[in-house]
Structures are given as C-alpha cells and as structure tokens.
Amino acid sequence: MTDLDGLYRHAHGTRVVVIGGGIGGLVAAREFAKVGMVVTVLEAGDRLGGAIRGGEVAGLELDLGAESFATRGGHVRALVDELGLGDAVVEPDRAGAWVAGLPGGRAEPLPKGGVLGIPANPFAEDVRRVIGWGGAWRAYLDRLRPPLTIGHEHSLGRLVESRLGSAVLDRLVAPVTTGVYSARPHDIDVDAAAPGLNAALTRAGSLTGAVAELTAARQGKAPGSAVLGLAGGMGRLVAALESELASAGVEIRTGTPVASLERAAGGWLVGAARDGEPEGAGLTPPPAEGVEPSDLDGERSLFADVVLVATEEAAARRLLAPHIEGLAAEAPLPGPAVDIVTLVLEAPELDAAPRGTGVLTVPGSSRAKALTHVTAKWAWVRERAAGRHVVRVSFGTQDEAPATSRLDRDEVAELALAEAAGLLGVPLRRRQLLGARLERFAQSQPASRVGHRDETERTRALLASTPGIGAVGAWLAGTGLAQVVPDAIAEADRVRRAALFG
Ligand SMILES: Cc1cc2nc3c(=O)[nH]c(=O)nc-3n(C[C@H](O)[C@H](O)[C@H](O)COP(=O)(O)OP(=O)(O)OC[C@H]3O[C@@H](n4cnc5c(N)ncnc54)[C@H](O)[C@@H]3O)c2cc1C
C-alpha cells in the first residue's frame, strides 16, 4: 500500500460534522468532501443559506437577505464560476445611491469617488451640495493644518472629525458606516475598513490628500463594479452548493439545532436539541467507556472525528467555550439586530428611480437606516416585477434596536411604507402595497470594529491549539461573502491538514 492509499483511506475514514448551514458552513463542507471525508451538515433552520435567504413576496421570488457579493479578492466570483453559475452573474445599475436626512429634510446623490464617504475635494459640486459651504470650508482646513507626519489614528470617526469637521462626519461618513456596517464611524478601525489610508496619510500629509491618492490609484485599474449579483437571486448559490454537496455524498440535516459538543474517545459527540428544548439545554452525555463511538442513538447525537462550527457568534461561543480555555462563552459585544422589510408596490411614480438605487440616511434622521430600490438596482428583478416596484427598507444598528422589533405585521408594513415614501420622496399609499415581508437577522460585529482584529487573532490562535476543531463565519472573518468564503476555505484547509497529517 502506498502512502497515497493510506492517505485516501484516512480521508475516507474521517467523519466531519459541520454545525451551521450558512455560506461559511457549506463552503467548508465542500472542502472536506473534496478529499473524500465523510461529511454531515447540521442546520438549525428548515433551510440552508443563513443570511442568504430567498422567499416570495406578492408572488415574486426575491432575495430577502444578502443580495450581492463584493468583487474584492475574486474569491466569491471563483466559487460562482466553479459551481457553473458564471452566466448568471449580473452588475447592479450604476445610478448610485443617495443620502437622506440632510438639513431641511433634503436628500442628495451620494458623491461619487471618495473612501467610506470621505471626499478628496470638499469643494466638488456633489460634495458641497451635501455638506454646504460651511462644511466645505471646515473640511478644507485639513489642507492648511500642520501636515500629518504619521497616520496612526485607529478610530475612523475621530480621524474624520478632527481633520474634516462634523458635516463630513455626520452627512457623508456616518450614513455609509451605518448603512454598510450598522456601526458608528467612531467604532470603525481605519486600517480594517480602509486599508492603505493611514499610509497614504503619512505620504500626503492631509486626509483629503490621502483619499485623492487612493482614488487615483483605483482609477488606474480596469473599471468594474465593486459588487455583483446573480440573476434569479443569491439563493442560487446556496442551491448549487447544496446540490454539489448532495452529489458528493454529504449528508445534510436541516431542522437540527445543535445544543452540545462533548469530547468523546478520539473525537467529538455532537448533540442535537430535543424537540421543544431550547438550543444550549440538555447536554448529551459522553459515551460510556468501552462503547464504540458511533451514531449513538441514531438521531440525537453524532460522533465526529472533526467538528467545524459555522454558526453565528453566540451559538459558536456557547459550543466552543467549554473546550477552549480562554475563549469567553459570551461575545464581548453582541452584534446588531437587523430587520429587513421587503415591499412590492404598484407605484409608477418610482419608474424614474427618484433616488437612484437606494438611500442611506444621516443617523437619527429617520427610523429606517437604509433603503434599496431593488427594481432600480437589478435588471433581473425589474423584468420579473413587470412594472411593479420592489423596495427593501432596513432597520436596526449597533446602537438602536430595529424600530420594527415590537410591531405586529400590519404595523411593520405601515412603518416600512411610510419610511419608503419619506426616503424616496414620493407619496405611497396603503392601497399601492401589494405585499410586505419582514425578515429578522442577527448580524456579526463588523471585522472593521476597533479592537476586533486583536480579538479575532486571539480566538484563532486558541482554536488552532485545540485538535479536531475549527470555526468559520462572519464573526471571525468579517461581514460579507467576500470575507466569509475565502476564510471558510482557508479554515477548512487548516483543519483538514491537521486531521490528515497530524
Ligand atoms: C440582511 C443582510 C443582508 C446582507 N447583505 C449582504 C450582501 O448583499 N452581500 C454580502 O456580501 N453580504 C451581505 N450580508 C452579510 C452576509 O450575508 C453574511 O456575512 C454571511 O452570509 C454570513 O455567513 P455565515 O455562514 O457566517 O453565517 P450565517 O449565514 O448566519 O449562517 C449561520 C447558520 O448557522 C445556523 N445555526 C445557528 N445556530 C445553530 C445551531 N446551534 N445548530 C445548527 N445550526 C445553527 C443558522 O441557522 C444559520 O443557517 C448581509 C447580511 C445580512 C444580515
């Protein structure tokens, strides 16, 4: 028998349980299946995909959660191509978004260019319309003030406020960080959210100069959209992964919330919650001595040589903490709760896309944090909607529970409709509403939060020193498919190597 035969047999004899069937878990499961490991995916919900969630509203099949992927790094695109979905890749409309909640209730197009809303030229017409002459002069002081000799500020909010003033901070940067990360600029780490900005600051001596340098470098590259989508919805990515996993012999069990993880002879016992039992209750006892660790009672607990935890942060910590010394069972700071209300409207007044592809808001100016005009943004939805309009209104940030959290279904629809009308600057009546659907999400802390990187590095080091276990997902990799996908591939590879080569 050659070494390769031995390796093959070893891989085929290695049982892997992946806990959580979001994109992180599915991508990791695919990596294990590639080398012939025996893989089971346990998903708490009744469907796979996690924050990639499709569903029907007024007869239209739509993305209700994640709707696009960032092109950064090319990892998601590569996965999409490998799964045979390359032909379905689509670009969003280039009209761009607006910012609402400016003084006097105004809304203006979000200036083009810039970095996280920070402009290169405060006097540019599109920038000045948002921050006013006063804001533009204040921001211009950045060029006159003593040059920054070393860019080393961690907090994006403090950096922008001190160099450019509060108008740039509140009206340009805060809408972007709140809309994208659900977080305030003060909590965002400059190096994580805008790599290269601090170094450019050191070279340019001013913040606007640094932004000018970075945007000029960007323009030198081939033009292309920063995000892409899939015609038919991001749910197609999940469906393609599911079907590939099924053909590779991966067992997928939905409706199976994992409540416990116990050390067992040479591996792990993964225990599912009993019916009606809350997740986290009812630990499965470890196998009695001499009992061959196997699929113990067939349903409730499962033996694994290797476990990969791919849930959201709260469940992941609860499962991992008892086995990883130094890992806290509770998240240092829980991530924001986000409610997305998708509305289907009979509203010809929206045909002209009055606010481009969507609206970000000045924090505190409205009850919604952002809006996407889906039929303006994605041609495939426009075609499917056949004259109707689809609008997504999002609620909830790090500092504020969603305004929809305590409302009943009708009240949610009323509020979302009123917010949509306000943000789009168009009156919308109840009779124009053909359908409304609320979806709730628990988001992870953005990877770009100040201090997050150190915490994550510590957690990864602790995981790496615990044999037979790994963890993936947005709480470690950062929010977004462009972060979660490559990280899941890398972590599965680390765990796979450790299992095969020791
Ligand atoms: C509303 C919204 C919109 C977004 N839009 C975009 C976008 O357009 N583009 C983009 O790139 N990113 C977007 N994101 C971010 C992106 O969707 C996420 O970062 C990514 O999908 C997270 O994947 P994940 O596998 O880490 O976690 P999740 O998708 O959260 O999956 C975790 C899975 O684990 C399961 N689980 C939890 N506990 C247990 C348990 N005890 N036992 C078994 N299973 C369990 C859950 O049911 C879930 O299916 C969006 C996020 C949200 C919330």
Give me ligand 1 centre to Cα 79, in Å. Answer: 17
Return the ligand 1 atom nearest residue 25 CA. 25
* Rg of the chain on CA atoms, in Å: 24
Question: Where does the pLDDT of residue 446 fall: very low under 50, low under 70, confident under 90, or very high at 90 and above?
Answer: confident
Instruction: Determine the 3-state secondary structure of 161 from DSSP.
Output: helix
Q: What is the pLDDT of residues 96-151, one digit of tens each?
A: 999 999 999 999 999 988 899 999 999 999 999 999 999 999 999 998 887 665 55
Contact 22, 50 (CB under 8 A): yes
Are 289 and 435 members of one domain? no
Are 212 and 245 members of one domain? no
Instruction: Give yes or no for residue 257 CB within 6 A of ligand 1.
Output: yes
Instruction: Give yes or no for residue 310 CB within 6 A of ligand 1.
Output: yes
Give the domain-ending residue among 218, 252, 278. 218
Tell me the two tokens of residue 289. Answer: 């001595």
Residue type, 490: A
Average pLDDT over residues 347-356: 97
pLDDT score, position 246: 97
Is the pLDDT reported for residue 210 higher than 50? yes
Task: Supply the CATH number for residue 144's domain.
Answer: 1.10.3110.10
Are 344 and 423 members of one domain? yes
The answer to the question of residue 405 being in a domain is yes
Residue of the nearest CA to atom 29 in ligand 1? Answer: 50
357 Cβ neighbours under 8 A, 6+ residues apart: 92, 93, 95, 96, 97, 372, 373, 376, 377
Q: What is the pLDDT of residues 370-429, one digit of tens each?
A: 999 999 999 999 999 999 999 999 999 888 899 999 999 999 999 999 999 999 999 999
Are 468 and 367 members of one domain? no
Give me ligand 1 centre to Cα 105, in Å. Answer: 34
Are 430 and 486 members of one domain? no
Q: What is the pLDDT of residues 263-283, one digit of tens each?
A: 998 899 999 876 645 443 332
Is the pLDDT reported for residue 500 higher than 50? yes
- Testing ligand 1's pocket by substitution, the residue of 43, 377, 397 carrying the most ligand atoms inside 8 A of its CB is 43
The answer to the question of residue 99 being in a domain is no
Are 416 and 367 members of one domain? yes
Residue type, 29: A
Question: Where does the pLDDT of residue 293 fall: very low under 50, low under 70, confident under 90, or very high at 90 and above?
Answer: very low
The answer to the question of residue 252 being in a domain is yes
pLDDT score, position 470: 97
Instruction: Give yes or no for residue 315 CB within 6 A of ligand 1.
Output: yes
Are 433 and 455 members of one domain? no
Give me ligand 1 centre to Cα 42, in Å. Answer: 15
- Testing ligand 1's pocket by substitution, the residue of 17, 230, 312, 452 carrying the most ligand atoms inside 8 A of its CB is 312
Q: What is the pLDDT of residues 216-252, one digit of tens each?
A: 877 666 556 689 999 999 999 999 999 999 999 999 9
C-alpha 214/C-alpha 46 separation (Å) is 45
C-alpha 138/C-alpha 122 separation (Å) is 9
Return the ligand 1 atom nearest residue 42 CA. 43
What is the side-by-side order of every strand in the sheet holding 258-264?
258-264, 267-272, 301-304
More confident residue, 345 or 202: 345
Are 460 and 386 members of one domain? no
Q: What is the pLDDT of residues 44-75, one digit of tens each?
A: 999 999 999 999 999 999 999 999 999 989 99
Q: How many domains would you assign to the chain?
A: 3
Return the ligand 1 atom nearest residue 280 CA. 41
Are 255 and 328 members of one domain? yes
pLDDT over 90 for what percent of the chain?
75
